[in-house]
Structure 1
Amino acid sequence: MSSVTIRPLRFTADVEGMRAFLETLGLRSRIESERGGWVDMMAGRGMVALHDAASSSTGGRPGQTTLSFEAEKIDELRDRLEQVGFVDATVFDEAYGRVLSVTGPDSVVIWVDERSEDMYGYKLHDARPDERWSVTPYLTGAEEPAWRRFFEGVGLQTPVRFGPADGAFAVRLDLSTTEPLDEVESRLDTYDVTRTATGLEIVDPDGQLVVVHG
């Protein structure tokens, strides 16, 4: 079975600010566009992609986070999704590589990029992320059983947290770590941070809440 990595996509008005923020937490840049406006960042488990909202062709708004993935072989992934009932999974070519599109639960369109060795137009970094960190998005307005079935079809243990099911579907960029939270908080002196019983609530450069779970 080809590997699949969860990769929330953040549309942002400040790519470099968000990049610096995530690097402060422990993520590391892997690939960035030579023209700017795109960078994906690795944690020990999972990834986060940053996209300049002003150049988004899909109408992404600054501060908006969507759910996306990266996979080794998207043809195999399409077949697996079709077998569990997601029959509109479609593979097509974009300028930056091959992409799978599928309508997930709650009528949410999910995009999966195929991992590519062609770095034309991109810069590849020697990313060495802190293995103590994981990307664990927080979903609200989500039908949990259906999403769990979707993640099983993708081939992932459910790498997300679920919030209230009422309201519109939304994704919050949450992270989990085994690093002592005192050490994490000490690096965040230039950010608005609130300590809770279970983690840290941080206002990121987009003005959005990011929760780090200890």
Structure 2
Amino acid sequence: MRVMPIRYSTDVAAMTRFYEVLGLRVGSVSRPGGWVELPAEAGMLALHRGDGVDVGRCELAFETDERLEDVAERLRAAGYEPGPVVDEGFGRSLRVPDPDGVAVQINEYDRELYT
């Protein structure tokens, strides 16, 4: 079984380009263009405790083996503006708004920090 988050957007072409810059590749595409699959090498579902406004919220995050500085540079070169690389309890992360303005988180894990 694979986890397949579904991200809805008013501009599928712009979203496809954004996720290609992140490193995903286009897979199956519907003939009308309203559905595009972007397979990844692997995926996972992360569950986090939340309350109040966080309950039911879904956030899109990716784990990378690349240095976050390299990911950020690739995003900038493609016209996207990532936020700063931030030290976290699990390693480091950065956030970048997608074409709809929704933040996408990219994580560089240091498993020694939290396992």
- The TM-score with structure 1 as length reference comes to 0.44
Distance, in Å, in 1 between the alignment partners of 2:82 and 2:23 is 16
Identity of aligned residues (%): 32
Distance, in Å, in 1 between the alignment partners of 2:104 and 2:49 is 14
Give the gaps of 5 or more residues in structure 2.
109-115
Give the gaps of 5 or more residues in structure 1.
47-135, 137-158
Equivalences for 1:1-214 in 2 at 5 Å?
A: 4-46=1-43, 136=44, 159-167=45-53, 168-189=55-76, 190-195=79-84, 196-197=86-87, 198-214=92-108
The alpha carbon displacement at 1:163 in A equals 4.9
Give deviations 1:74-101, integer Å, cap 9, x for gaps: xxxxxxxxxxxxxxxxxxxxxxxxxxxx
Count, aligned residues: 100
Matched to 2:6, the amino acid is: L
Matched to 1:35, the amino acid is: P
Query: Which of the pair has more CA radius of gyration?
Result: 1
- The TM-score with structure 2 as length reference comes to 0.80
Distance, in Å, in 2 between the alignment partners of 1:174 and 1:186 is 18
The alpha carbon displacement at 1:43 in A equals 1.3
Matched to 1:38, the amino acid is: W
Q: Residue 16 and residue 163 in structure 1: after superposition, are their counterparts in 2 closer, same or farther (change >3 A)?
A: farther
Higher strand share: 1
